[in-house]
Amino acid sequence: MDATGIDKHEVALFLDEVDKDIVIEAPHDSWNQPRPDDIVVVEVGENSSATIFRIHCWRVGAGVPLTAGGVSLDRCVRTMRRGEEATFKAKDGESVPAARVRLPCLHRCEDLRGDGRLVRTTLRDGHRWQMPQEGSELRVRFSWQALPAAVAASVAGALELGARGKGVEQAQEETALEIRGAADQFAEVAGSPEVATLRLALLRRFGGTITVCVAGEGGLCASSALRVLRGGSLVSASSAGVAAVEAAEEVRQEIEAAAVTALGTTQQRAEREVTISLDEGRCVCSAEDWIPGLAGLRVLSDLRVGQRCSVRLAPDLAFGAQGLPDFGVPPDATLEYDVELLQIMKLEDISLDGSGRITKKTTHEGEGYDHPAEGAEVVLRVEARDHASGAVLVEDCELK
C-alpha cells in the first residue's frame, strides 16, 4: 500500500481479472483515485447505451456487495479517477454483458491526525491554486452540530471515529432512493444539488449503499415524486404534487428530524460567515465556537477557495468536559462542522522601509499578467476608512 492508502498490488490483480476499456478519460486536473473510507458516487448503465439507469453512493471498503459486468463495483472504482467513464466485464463471465461505469463524484476522506479524532471529508472541490498562508485573512462560512452519542460511535455516521472496519454487516444494507418520472429526465434530476445533498444525508443516517433509481409503477405512495425505502419498507416519501428536485429537500429535512428523534437530541448552530486570521501558527477568530486550537488551523491549511468540507472533531479536540454552555455545546460532545472557504485575502507589507506601516490586503485577485509600467495611465477605484472605527474618510470614487 502506498502513501495515499491505495493498494497498488490489489489493483493490479483486479485488472488481471477483468476487461476494462476507458470510454472517457478523466480530466487532466483529476488525479485522485478512490481509497478506503472515501465516499464515491457511481453511475451505472449498459455498455450498449450511454443511458444511466441507476446511481450508487457508498463508502469505499465498507463491504458493499454491488456488482456490474460480473465484477465488484467497489474494486472497479479503485482503478478509476474522478470524471472517468469505463466499461468493465469479468474475463470468466462470458454470459454477463459488460457494464458502463462512470465516477462523477469523489468525496475525499482524510484522517488529519492519523488517530480518527479529526476527520475531514471534502463535499465540494475548490478552485485555483492559492491556499491559506501565514498572515492571510480568510472569509469562511461554517456551522456545526453536536452529535448524539449513538451517531458519534456508529458506522451509520458519515465519518467514523475509532471504529473503522467494524459493523460490516450493517454497512452492507441498501437504501433505495426512488425518483418518479420519465426515464430520460432521470439523470438530470438525480444529478441535481438537492438530490446530492439528500444522498449524503441518507448515507450519514443509514450507512451501507444509497441507490438512486427510477421508481416502479404503483406501490406505496405512488403519487410521490420521490420516496426512500429500506428492505422494501417505506422510510419516507415526498408530498403529492411536489416536483422531485423540491421534494429532495423536503425528504432530507424529514430524514434528519427522524434521526434526531431516534438517536437523541442534538444542539446545532446555523451557518454564518466569519473572518479568520492566520497568525503565528494559530487561527484568530471572533467566533468562540470555531474549531479550537491547532485543529482549526489544520483543517484550513490546505483548502482552496470554494472548497466545502465536513469535519468531525472528537470531544478532547473540541470543547472537552466543560463544553461551551453559552453556545449550547454540551460537555464531552463530538462536533461535526460544515466549513466552506469563501475567500483568501493576502496581506503584504508594502512600506518602503519594511516597517509594516503600510499594508496591502488583496481582497480580489486580478486577471492576466500585466502590471502598470512607468508612464502608463491607470484608473483606480478608491475608498478610505479609519482602521479603528471603520468610519468612511473618502467616499468610493474613481481616480485617473
pLDDT tens, 115-150? 889 999 999 888 877 889 888 899 999 999 887 665
At 9 the pLDDT is 81
At 394 the pLDDT is 84
At 266 the pLDDT is 63
CA 39 – CA 57 distance, rounded (Å):
7
What residues does 175 pair with on adjacent strands? 210, 230
At 48 the pLDDT is 61
At 244 the pLDDT is 84
Count Cβ neighbours within 10 Å for each residue of 81-118 and write b for 16 or more, e otherwise.
Answer: bbbbbbbbbbeebeeeebbbbbbbbbbbbbbbeeebbb
At 28 the pLDDT is 86
Instruction: With a cut of 80, say whether residue 6 has pLDDT above it.
Output: no
DSSP run (H or E) holding 164: none
Number of alpha carbons in the 13 Å side-chain half-sphere of residue 329: 26
Count Cβ neighbours within 10 Å for each residue of 32-56 and write b for 16 or more, e otherwise.
Answer: ebbbbbbbbbbbbbbbeeeebebbb
At 108 the pLDDT is 92
Q: What is the DSSP string of 142-159?
A: EEEEEEPHHHHTSTTSSS
pLDDT in tens, 47-73: 666 666 789 999 998 877 888 888 899
CA 184 – CA 205 distance, rounded (Å):
29
Nearest to 399 by CA among 374, 383, 382: 382
At 4 the pLDDT is 54
- pLDDT confidence of 169, banded at 50, 70, 90? very low
Q: State the average pLDDT over residues 152-160.
A: 45
For residues 32 and 272, which has the higher predicted lDDT (pLDDT)?
272
Number of alpha carbons in the 13 Å side-chain half-sphere of residue 83: 8
At 166 the pLDDT is 37
Instruction: With a cut of 60, say whether residue 387 has pLDDT above it.
Output: yes
Q: State the average pLDDT over residues 7-29.
A: 88
Q: What is the DSSP string of 61-106?
A: TS----EETTEEHHHHHTT--TT-EEEEEETT-TTSPPEEEEEEEE
CA 399 – CA 380 distance, rounded (Å):
5
At 349 the pLDDT is 75
At 340 the pLDDT is 97
pLDDT in tens, 366-385: 777 778 888 888 888 888 88
Kindly give the interhelix angle for 244-263 and 193-206, rounded to the nearest 10 degrees.
20
Instruction: With a cut of 70, say whether residue 167 has pLDDT above it.
Output: no
195 residue type, one letter: V
At 163 the pLDDT is 38
Give percent of the chain above pLDDT 90.
36
Asked whether 333 and 318 are in contact (CB, 8 A), the reply is yes
CA 364 – CA 382 distance, rounded (Å):
14
At 301 the pLDDT is 92
User: Which cell goes with 370?
Assistant: 500585466
Instruction: With a cut of 70, say whether residue 25 has pLDDT above it.
Output: yes
How high is the mean pLDDT of the chain?
Answer: 83
Asked whether 212 and 251 are in contact (CB, 8 A), the reply is no
At 343 the pLDDT is 92
For residues 386 and 155, which has the higher predicted lDDT (pLDDT)?
386
- pLDDT confidence of 158, banded at 50, 70, 90? very low
Give percent of the chain above pLDDT 70.
86
At 128 the pLDDT is 76
pLDDT in tens, 216-250: 665 556 678 889 999 888 899 888 888 888 889 99
Q: What is the DSSP string of 294-316?
A: HHHHHHHTT--TT-EEEEEE-GG
Cα 170 to Cα 230, 235, 304, distances in angstroms: 12, 17, 35
Asked whether 134 and 300 are in contact (CB, 8 A), the reply is no
- pLDDT confidence of 254, banded at 50, 70, 90? confident
**3-class DSSP state of 233:** strand
**3-class DSSP state of 274:** strand
